């Protein structure tokens, strides 16, 4: 059961009670859940005192909203930024003026929130570059937590970016890394994962209206469960944490039931048998020295060994974020993502990250690790800034730094601190100075308690 559903409570709302307080507040704040609404309806229809109290609270909320310029306007000048008279009068006049203009300009609806649109999800948390776009071409770049989004596509750009969105019923999706997800909800939630990955904590869906998730290679129907799904080119991987998800391959319609702690892969190749299997766990020791050309899971510019120079990876440009004006913040980074065959490395309490690198300019380096639970659920992005003075530097300028993974800090609230357990799905090494000229000759995450990962 998802956390959002738990908060909705169960067994009806009484009055007076904290559940009643919470439900009325959720109504006022536009975050009421379906079950809360039903329970509140049952209470208000039968309890006159609760009904009066509900009306009083809503009226107070309405007065604060409607009479804000009278009640709060003068306070705003005292405690916040000055609120010029022109600004207040503009607030009041803008609405009516816009209504007139809308009609005058041939009936075109000018306001940003059109009548036929409904907010489907709220962006609960966001880091990095997160934007929304609609089919008719409207774009909202640089989204921040709290944004409400109607039917459209959510795009997360940059390996270190992530977004958590919540549906009104409490179902929650977490997109991490480069991902594009379209969503709609006309009584049935429909998601299309065009690329990337997300993990989901889905509340029980109404009978006959499962959540449907489509990827380029497969379709999944979800009634209420925890799972994660990724789409890379024509291959989709589904991992179920709890519950059961039916996965259908689009190439031939073949289906497979994926149960708790199982994964299944669907491709466009219908000759391959599609089956659910228990997930493997990555080893707790992983290292890369770039002596051979790295796989495509790596992003960076590979330079083979030459003379005294070791093999190494030079940074390449990555999108780190999008500014309000739509322009991109570009960083220089080397990264390694996981594959459908498994995560990169398992984290232990004593896991240590070791990195050998060199820079033309001495600048801080940021290392980011994406963590997933063994069940497949996203478990947070963690980062550590390595100051220029850290580590041992040899005669050729190569610096070696070792830091315990437990010293990494979660980028968003709500994730375990320090990171321990779970598996790493992304290693992202970045310098925000475009001219730093960073090269990496080796990187490893190792625990004293395990064998070496054989992942590519």
Residues 56-75 that bind another protein (CB under 8 A): 56-73, 75
Provide, rounded to whole angstroms, the least separation between the CB of residue 85 and another protein: 14
- Closer CB to another protein, residue 55 or residue 341? 55
Contacts of residue 379, defined as CB under 8 A and 6 or more positions apart, other chains included, come to 371, 372, 373, 415, 416, 419, 422
- Burial of 211 (C-beta count, 10 Å sphere; 0-12/13-18/19+): buried
Cβ count near 374 (within 10 Å)? 18
Q: What is the nearest approach in angstroms of another protein to the Cβ of residue 98?
A: 7
Binding residues among 259-278 for another protein as defined by CB under 8 A: none
If one asks whether residue 93 binds another protein (CB under 8 A), the answer comes out as yes
Q: How far apart are CA 33 and CA 39, in angstroms?
A: 10
Cα–Cα distance for residue pair 122/242, rounded to 1 Å:
24
| Contact pattern from residue 166 through residue 205 relative to another protein, giving x for each residue in contact according to CB under 8 A and a dash for the rest | --x------------------x------------------
Which one, 132 or 357, has the nearer CB to another protein?
Answer: 132
Nearer to another protein, 29 or 306 (CB): 29
C-beta closer to another protein: residue 48 or 395: 48
Nearer to another protein, 11 or 253 (CB): 11
Give the number of other CB atoms < 10 A from CB of residue 435: 10
Give the footprint of another protein on residues 95-124 (CB under 8 A). 95-100, 102-104, 109, 111, 113, 115, 118-119, 122-124
Under the binding rule (CB under 8 A), the answer on residue 40 touching another protein is yes
C-beta of 417: minimal distance to another protein in Å? Answer: 14
Per-position DSSP letters for 377-407, written without gaps between them: -EEEEEEEEE-TT-SEE-TTS-EEEEEEGGG
For the CB of residue 391, give the shortest distance to another protein in the complex, in Å: 32
Q: Work out how close the CB of 387 gets to another protein at its nearest, in angstroms, rounded to a whole number.
A: 24
304, 311 in Cβ contact below 8 A? yes
**Interface with another protein (CB under 8 A), residue from 15, 20, 54, 286:** 54
Q: Which residue has the tokens 């190569």?
A: 398
> What are the residues whose beta carbons fall under 8 Å from the beta carbon of 113, sequence distance 6 or more?
none
The correct pick among 14, 45, 305, 435 for binding another protein (CB under 8 A) is 45
Cα→Cα distances 272→51, 81, 264, 266, Å: 61, 64, 12, 9
Q: Which stretch, 48-56, 170-178, 219-227, 244-252, contacts another protein (CB under 8 A)?
A: 48-56
| Residue from 1, 37, 297, 403 binding another protein (CB under 8 A) | 37
Number of residues near another protein (by CB under 8 A): 75
Q: Which two tokens stand for residue 353?
A: 């990250």
140 lines the binding site for another protein (CB under 8 A): no
What are the C-alpha distances in Å from 173 to residues 162, 181, 230, 405, 425? 11, 10, 13, 26, 17
Q: What is the DSSP string of 324-369?
A: TTSPEEEEEEEEEE-BTTB-SEE--TT-EEEEEEE-SS---EEEEE
Nearer to another protein, 10 or 304 (CB): 10
Helix (H) or strand (E) holding 136: none
Question: What string marks each residue from 385 to 424 as x (binds another protein by CB under 8 A) or -?
Answer: ----------------------------xx----------
If you search the block for the tokens 């708790």, which residue do you land on?
Answer: 260
Q: Note if the bond before 418 is cis, omega within 30 degrees.
A: yes
CB of 242 to another protein, least distance (A): 23
Q: Report, in Å, the least distance between residue 395 CB and another protein.
A: 45
């Amino acid at each position: 059961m998802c956390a959002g559903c738990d908060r909705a409570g169960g067994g009806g709302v009484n009055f007076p009670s904290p559940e009643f307080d919470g439900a009325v507040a959720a109504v006022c704040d536009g975050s009421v859940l379906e079950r809360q609404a039903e329970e509140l309806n049952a209470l208000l229809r039968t309890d006159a005192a609760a009904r009066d109290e509900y009306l009083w609270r809503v009226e107070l909320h309405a007065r604060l909203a409607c009479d804000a310029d009278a009640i709060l306007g003068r306070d705003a000048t005292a405690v916040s930024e000055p609120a010029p008279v022109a600004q207040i009068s503009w607030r009041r006049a803008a609405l009516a003026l816009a209504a007139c203009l809308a009609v005058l300009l041939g009936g075109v609806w000018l306001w940003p929130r059109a009548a036929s649109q409904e907010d489907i999800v709220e962006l609960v948390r966001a880091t990095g570059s997160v934007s929304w776009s609609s089919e008719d071409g409207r774009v909202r770049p640089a989204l921040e937590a709290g944004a409400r989004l109607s039917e459209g596509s959510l795009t997360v750009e940059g390996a270190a970016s992530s977004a958590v969105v919540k549906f009104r019923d409490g179902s929650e999706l977490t997109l991490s890394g480069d991902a594009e997800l379209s969503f709609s909800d006309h009584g049935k939630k429909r998601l299309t994962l065009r690329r990337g990955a997300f993990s989901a904590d889905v509340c029980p869906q109404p009978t006959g209206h499962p959540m449907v998730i489509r990827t380029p290679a497969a379709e999944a129907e979800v009634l209420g469960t925890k799972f994660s799904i990724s789409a890379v080119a024509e291959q989709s991987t589904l991992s179920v944490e709890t519950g059961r998800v039916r996965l259908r391959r689009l190439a031939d319609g073949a289906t497979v039931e994926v149960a708790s702690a199982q994964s299944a892969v669907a491709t466009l190749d219908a000759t391959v048998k599609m089956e659910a299997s228990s997930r493997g766990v990555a080893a707790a020791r992983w290292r890369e020295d770039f002596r051979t050309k790295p796989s495509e899971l790596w992003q960076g510019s590979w330079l083979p060994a030459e003379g005294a120079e070791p093999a190494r990876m030079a940074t390449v440009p990555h999108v780190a974020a999008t500014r309000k004006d739509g322009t991109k913040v570009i960083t220089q980074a080397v990264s390694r993502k996981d594959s459908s065959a498994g995560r990169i490395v398992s984290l232990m309490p004593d896991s240590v990250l070791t990195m050998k690198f060199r820079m033309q300019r001495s600048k801080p380096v940021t290392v980011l690790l994406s963590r997933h639970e063994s069940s497949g659920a996203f478990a947070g992005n963690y980062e550590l800034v390595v100051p220029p003075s850290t580590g041992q530097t040899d005669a050729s300028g190569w610096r070696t730094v070792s830091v315990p993974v437990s010293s990494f800090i979660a980028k968003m609230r709500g994730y375990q601190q320090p990171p321990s357990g779970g598996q790493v799905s992304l290693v992202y090494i970045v310098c925000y100075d475009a001219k730093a000229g960073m090269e990496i000759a080796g990187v490893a995450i190792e625990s004293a308690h395990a064998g070496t990962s054989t992942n590519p």
